[in-house]
């Protein structure tokens, strides 16, 4: 009975803080995920993201992150925007329209954990928001919140895939939800067929080293390889193609989080506006934005790359 009571507190508290979905899984070693991750890394599909090679054991065993862990609580928060970018301007992934989600959700997650301790008593745990060795999509699937699509994203049957995922690993014993057993992608290959760089492979494997998001965000080299020219489809920061073409995202609903309200510059800046942007203005306009991860130099590099469609042809 205590487990049921605590489980209800967890889910009610999550809903009260504006999390769209909350699921619970038993904290256990992710055996199958460990094999898949090892294979993916061995094939070099992480490119220059060498940090993904670190802490392998922590990624697959929650009890190494939180000693005595019994439950993994997974929380989803919608980021699908009501307003969209203008046509024919440098494109930004929708997750980066507003404030940096790491800061927004981390604060919300801290408050969530604080309220749980206030309502339940002394419990131990750690919260994670896409910045630590946690396989959050696997835990979301095990918590019944959706299935892993062919594009590697978690897809929720009610609202699609435009969600941020947060995890709270705790020593609190809770009632686990039933894992999502069904895969509703079926024979659809829209994400595979439409990926501009052919980064999405069969069997739910994404070659991260080919992904536009990798080149425009993760790659810190001064230049993007010439072989990628003409494939970026005007993406300046990140890429949403595989989500935009996914049939399940017809169920996406505009988010209600004020901190995800789009920055005006992202919605309206033309190629000319981006070209004229100074570093000083960049730091002011995007001081709370995920774009600061690429820094001014990275954004300018990306801009030059998408404007140079081929040798001698520049889009202005």
Torsion of CA 63, 9, 105, 218, to 10 degrees: 30
DSSP states of 128-187:
ESSSSS--HHHHHHHTTS-EE-TTS-EEBTTTBT-EEEEEEEES---PPPPP----TTTT
Beta bridge partners of 91: 235
Residue (of 278, 207, 265, 258) closest to 237 by Cα position: 265
**Does residue 130 have an active-site annotation?**
yes
| Residue 103: C-alpha distances to residues 39, 84, 128 (Å) | 32, 23, 11
Q: Which of 130, 233, 244, 259 is catalytic?
A: 130
What's the rounded Cα separation, in Å, for the pair 121 and 115? 10
Residue (of 156, 96, 133) closest to 299 by Cα position: 96
Tell me, rounded to whole angstroms, the distance of Cα 158 from its chain centroid.
Answer: 18
Residue (of 117, 115, 96) closest to 107 by Cα position: 115
Active site residues: 130
């Amino acid at each position: 009975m205590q487990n049921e009571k605590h489980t209800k507190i967890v889910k009610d508290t999550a809903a009260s803080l504006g999390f769209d979905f909350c699921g619970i899984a038993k904290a256990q070693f992710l055996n199958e995920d460990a094999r898949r991750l090892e294979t993916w890394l061995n094939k070099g599909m992480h490119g220059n993201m060498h940090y993904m090679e670190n802490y392998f054991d922590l990624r697959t065993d929650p009890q190494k992150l939180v000693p005595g862990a019994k439950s993994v609580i997974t929380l989803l928060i919608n980021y699908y925007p009501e307003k969209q970018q203008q046509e024919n301007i440098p494109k930004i992934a929708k997750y980066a329209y507003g404030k940096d989600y790491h800061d927004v959700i981390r604060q919300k997650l801290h408050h969530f954990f604080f309220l749980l301790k206030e309502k339940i008593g002394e419990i131990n745990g750690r919260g994670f928001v896409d910045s630590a060795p946690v396989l959050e999509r696997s835990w979301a699937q095990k918590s019944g919140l959706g299935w892993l699509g062919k594009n590697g994203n978690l897809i929720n049957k009610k609202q699609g895939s435009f969600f941020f995922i947060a995890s709270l690993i705790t020593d609190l014993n809770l009632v686990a939800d039933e894992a999502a057993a069904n895969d509703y992608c079926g024979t659809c290959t829209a994400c595979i067929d439409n990926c501009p760089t052919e980064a999405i492979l069969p069997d739910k494997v994404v070659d991260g080293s080919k992904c536009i998001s990798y080149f425009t965000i993760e790659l810190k080299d001064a230049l993007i390889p010439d072989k990628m020219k003409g494939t970026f489809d005007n993406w300046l920061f990140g890429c949403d193609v595989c989500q935009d073409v996914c049939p399940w995202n017809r169920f996406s609903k505009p988010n209600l989080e004020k901190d995800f309200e789009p920055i005006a510059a992202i919605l309206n800046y033309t190629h000319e506006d981006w070209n004229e942007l100074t570093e000083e203005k960049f730091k002011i306009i995007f001081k709370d934005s995920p774009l600061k991860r690429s820094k001014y130099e990275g954004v300018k590099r990306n801009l030059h790359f998408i404007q140079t469609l081929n040798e001698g042809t520049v889009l202005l």
